[in-house]
Chains A and B, each alone.
Chain A
């Protein structure tokens, strides 16, 4: 038996168990250092350097619409683009993809626009969908052929 392939391989072959299950304490994932920070940081210039969204409840699938009672106001182009997209309900992920804007940046700007009363962010009450909702998804998917 060749042990040169590393501990992981040998362990897996020996017991057929995921290597993770054999380690009692999971090793923390080391942070991946980014060699060139300049390019990575540039998108955050439009968020004034902020990297943490004020709204942790703004998720990828969270629906965003324009606030019907919003006062017209002068907005920077990125924010204006978001507002003009949200005439129809749109998820944060779709906004990010359509504007080719980094997800983190999109989240922060959506949070800003929500705080400014320009956007309505439709946050769900419950964390996990109820059985009725899941049943509706099941029926909806079954109808797809």
Chain B
């Protein structure tokens, strides 16, 4: 039988050759924007329109205490909830990468928002004017968390059912929260909506740094 000799002569016995594993390149600094909204309002379309990868889905299986943390004992059973989350990314340059996370806007998913908004630049709340109340929990949450957010009315088929002023009135958001319309199918439209989110984030960051 003809065995081929071990190709790498450097590997002898148990000695480990340095640089055996390729050294990974330095990772980029990640920044993230949340895309929130009810089912079917166009979150995945929004993420997909701007992302350089087709939106990936991750299943989050998170636990939550069904009772308060101060109450251990037999009643402190943990339950799990599964949700699917879409995300995409945009490489800004070799050292900076923007991630977009699409998350359901219903309040029953709020348990994972604490985690999600940590370090987030801001949020784009996608609104379908036919089901405007779907986004109430997300708006409430971001408002109280102090996360910069923008309300983006998705104009399905280029049609805007209501005036933006009416949407603002219905949502009762603060005056400094931008309410805009965009088309989730078009990259340039999504980009412009995200730029408004970034503008809000910039204001917050400057305010924080000047303190």
Q: Which positions in A face B, CB cutoff 8 Å?
A: 12, 16-21, 26, 29, 31-34, 37, 40-41, 43-44, 51-52, 59-66, 68, 70-72, 86-89, 91, 93-94, 96-98, 102-106, 122, 124, 127-131, 133-138, 140-142, 144-145
Question: From residue A104, how far is it (CB to closest CB) to chain B in Å?
Answer: 5
Complex interface: chain B residues within 8 A of A129 (CB) = 31, 119, 121, 201, 205
Q: Which of A34, A65, A71, A134 contacts B205, CB < 8 Å?
A: A134
Q: Which of B29, B56, B99 contacts A98, CB < 8 Å?
A: B56
How far is B96's CA from A63's CA once the two chains are assembled, in angstroms?
Answer: 11
Interface of B is mostly: mixed
CB<8 Å pairs between A and B, sample of 23: A18-B172, A19-B136, A29-B107, A32-B81, A34-B80, A44-B61, A61-B31, A71-B16, A86-B24, A87-B22, A89-B28, A97-B87, A102-B59, A102-B60, A124-B119, A128-B119, A130-B209, A134-B121, A137-B92, A138-B202, A140-B92, A141-B198, A144-B191
A41–B198 touching, CB < 8 Å? no
Known: A20-B140, A88-B24. A136 touches B96 (CB 8 A): yes
For the A-B complex with A12-B133, A32-B81, A97-B56 known, give 15 more contacts whose Cβ atoms are closer than 8 Å.
Answer: A18-B139, A19-B136, A44-B61, A64-B27, A65-B24, A87-B21, A89-B25, A91-B99, A93-B56, A104-B60, A124-B29, A128-B205, A136-B92, A138-B195, A142-B191
Question: From residue B154, how far is it (CB to closest CB) to chain A in Å?
Answer: 19
Complex interface: chain B residues within 8 A of A97 (CB) = 56-58, 87
A59–B201 touching, CB < 8 Å? no
Q: Is B145 an interface residue (CB 8 A)?
A: no
Q: Is B208 an interface residue (CB 8 A)?
A: yes
Question: From residue B55, how far is it (CB to closest CB) to chain A in Å?
Answer: 9
A133–B29 touching, CB < 8 Å? yes
Complex interface: chain B residues within 8 A of A137 (CB) = 31, 92, 96, 98, 121, 198
Known: A31-B64, A103-B59. A59 touches B115 (CB 8 A): yes
Complex interface: chain A residues within 8 A of B110 (CB) = 29
Q: Is B3 an interface residue (CB 8 A)?
A: no
Q: Is B131 an interface residue (CB 8 A)?
A: no
Q: Is B35 an interface residue (CB 8 A)?
A: no
Known: A34-B80, A89-B28. A133 touches B119 (CB 8 A): no
Question: From residue A84, how far is it (CB to closest CB) to chain B in Å?
Answer: 10
- Between B28, B115, B205, the greatest number of chain A beta carbons within 10 A of the residue's beta carbon is seen for B205
A93–B90 touching, CB < 8 Å? no
Question: From residue B41, how far is it (CB to closest CB) to chain A in Å?
Answer: 17
Question: From residue A127, how far is it (CB to closest CB) to chain B in Å?
Answer: 5
Question: From residue B177, how far is it (CB to closest CB) to chain A in Å?
Answer: 13
Known: A93-B99, A94-B56. A103 touches B30 (CB 8 A): no
B63–A134 touching, CB < 8 Å? no
B207 nearest in chain A by CB position? A131
Question: From residue B111, how far is it (CB to closest CB) to chain A in Å?
Answer: 7
Q: Quick one: CB contact mask for B65-94 with A, threshold 8 Å, 1 for yes? A: 110000000000011111001010110110
B20-49 residues with Cβ-Cβ distance < 8 A to A are 20-32
A68–B21 touching, CB < 8 Å? yes
How far is B59's CA from A92's CA once the two chains are assembled, in angstroms?
Answer: 12
Complex interface: chain A residues within 8 A of B202 (CB) = 131, 134-135, 138
